[in-house]
Amino acid sequence: MSSLALYPGSFDPLTYGHADVIARASRLFDRVVVAVLVNPGKAPWFTADERAAMIQEACTGLRVDVVTFDGLVAELARRQKASAIIRGLRGATDFDYERQMALMNRHLNSDIDTVFLMPAMEFGHISSTLVKEVVSLGGSVSGLVPPKIEARLQQRRAGSDGIRQD
Ligand code: PNS
């Protein structure tokens, strides 16, 4: 039976850290499904469909599918018949939150285990939240996100696509 891993997150937007985790997961599992949460707590800069499309484009060439979802990750994992949930672990500050989430997901679906993957050292400081903060304040995020995503972020900041008007 082929192995399937589910990688859930907000991905608002995908960073090189996420992309590195996806590449690592795709070497460990036959299939990786990246699951984009429709409504993360913080108002997202991009719709779930926009985030999914950006991930799909950045993952060209990998055995990766991208879906959007609302509701429980544990239920999605059951529906997709996933054997693992993937989460990236950048360092100790991620650990408590991730540990709690992994145990809650196992409580909700005892068939599922969480596999933590560490992105490469050079991506350890990247988060979508910081990327958006840097863009908001006029900084460059080159080297932190793929060039096309950087362009989308700059467009959104400028309000040139008519959605974000700071
Ligand atoms: O990239 P993020 O924002 O850290 O991802 C968080 C995410 C989407 C994995 C988490 O918020 C989540 O699993 N949301 C779905 C709702 C759910 O299943 N909650 C219980 C998990 S403990």
78-101 residue pLDDT tens: 999 999 999 999 999 999 999 999
- Does residue 70 fall inside a structural domain? yes
What is the total count of domains within the chain?
1
**Which bin fits 33, alpha (ψ -120 to 50), beta or left (φ > 0)?**
beta
64: pLDDT confidence band, cut at 50, 70 and 90?
very high
pTM of the model: 0.94
Q: Which residues, in sequence order, are bridge partners of residue 69?
A: 37
- Does residue 159 fall inside a structural domain? no
- Does residue 23 fall inside a structural domain? yes
pLDDT of residue 161: 53
How many H-runs (helices) and E-runs (strands) does the chain carry?
6, 5
- CA atoms 23, 26, 31, 32: torsion sign: negative
Nearest-atom index, ligand 1, CA of 101: 22
105-117: average pLDDT: 96
- Does residue 133 fall inside a structural domain? no
Nearest-atom index, ligand 1, CA of 128: 1
Catalytic choice (24, 51, 87, 90) = 90
- With a 6 Å cutoff on the Cβ, whether 44 touches ligand 1 is no
- Does residue 137 fall inside a structural domain? no
Give the structural domain span for 61: 4-125
